[in-house]
Structure 1
Amino acid sequence: MSRPENNGTALHIDTSKPHPARMYDWFLGGKDNYPVDEAMGRQMLAVEPSVPVMAKVNRAFMHRATRWLSDQGIRQFLDIGTGIPTEPNLHQVAQQAAPATRVVYCDNDPIVLAHAEALLSGTPEGTIDYVQADARDVDSILEHSGRTLDLSRPVALSLISLLHFVSDEGGAYELVSRLTDVLAPGSYVVISHLTADFHPEAARKVDEMYKANTLTLAPRNRAQFAAFFDGLEIVEPGIVAAEAWHPELGEPIPGQDDIVSAGYVAVGRKL
């Protein structure tokens, strides 16, 4: 793996307010979080005790989608909003299936950069790189990822639990459109996204918590989620809850039972 680039961003971790990636890490049982993240996480648990299981269900979807894409012959992945590395991370799943797979991770959280070089080590045959950039800085992402990925060949664009942190006004649809436009035919777009459709009252309370902490949260309904795939062919089984996407490709999650996840997922193919 080449040395992660921070594009001039100072490595300063703001622990004065909770951060979604660090809360997600806490829900998954990680240690790269701070008391402020745990405090808000516990507030969310009081509203919806199943949030940690939902986080694991979402992560498991990423694993299954990556395996499925590897089976389709995809050997390049661009993962934007990767979050704090966990075991197994996307590159580990992909390179287990095909050791020569090339992966570029992108995130703007300094804590991800702090751990990227130590944690993102892959196979000798493959290549991994990390770009420190905001998801909306499409030009920078493409410039740096183009050093590792051949964008003239199919790429899997992975946007896991990212877009509900970008408002419509903040350019959520534009960033997906711009990234998709440069992908070669045969590429795929993988998205998981928070919705209020499944747990409306809990979603309302969580939204209030985010606003109280000056954090952006934009849960979208099914139609709004589907709009991210305009111009793409959505593969089977279509737009579904995270646990319903090819469950046969993964392992059961302890504690899942009949819990419905908090988000929609889908995989679209560029024709």
Structure 2
Amino acid sequence: MSTRRGAAGSQQARQQIIAEYVASHGSAAVNELVELTGVSVMTVHRDVDELARRGLLRKFRGGVSAQPSSVFESDVEYRLGARLEQKRAIARAALDFVEPGTSLMLDDSTTALHLARLLGTAAPLTVITNYRRAMDELRDSPELRLIALGGEYSRTHDSFNGLFCIEAISAVNVDVAFVSTSAMSATMSFHQEQEIVQVKRAMLAAAGTKVLLMDSGKTARTALHQLAPLTAYDHLVVDDGVSGEMLAELRQVLPVRVAETEQS
């Protein structure tokens, strides 16, 4: 059966399709990508050149290969386009943990960004974040008190991290922290970057209630660094793509809320 997708939408959506396909297959020929996207060979070459420029793919004669998965998981532009419906569903479910008057912290995950876009409906709130895009989403909301965490700016993550950020986090206490991360087994959460692990751990330590937001693509996986055992979180929100077996294992560790996607 052909995987051709016709016009394949916008350039960004098409590049997302290419990146995910190559990541899942390890490599691909240009002709495969033409069939996948339904655009011309020249258009595919331009898309591949852009993805290679961003460091997501390696180009070779006649095709492309994937960089290590950690590269994809770190690149904010890739993450912004990945598993959108699942992240929106998780954000809608996570909003139930927010009441007017709550103080909350958001990490620099794109899942938390979707939650940020909903927070105006629960105002007034105090929101603390190190994610520049979340700051942009929240800065014009008159009933939201926004506190930006400083630190060293990471272009890869579009967020502020490092020692200054950790020290700022340690100076506050919030009612609830919403965090996401790269991977999760039935007992442990993981991230591939040590610096990000340190910031997320500081956020968890600063919160009364700790909510982990994880789409199904991140489950039953591991990454280089252990972030925290699942017992360190108070709640887990996942989408309905998580397998029944995995859900049963997770529910032996902590309360799990399953968010229904609009596709289900």
Shorter-chain TM-score tier: 0.3 to 0.5
Bigger Rg, structure 1 or 2: 2
| Higher RCO, 1 vs 2 (CA within 8 Å, ≥6 residues apart) | 1
TM-score (norm 1): 0.45
TM-score (norm 2): 0.46
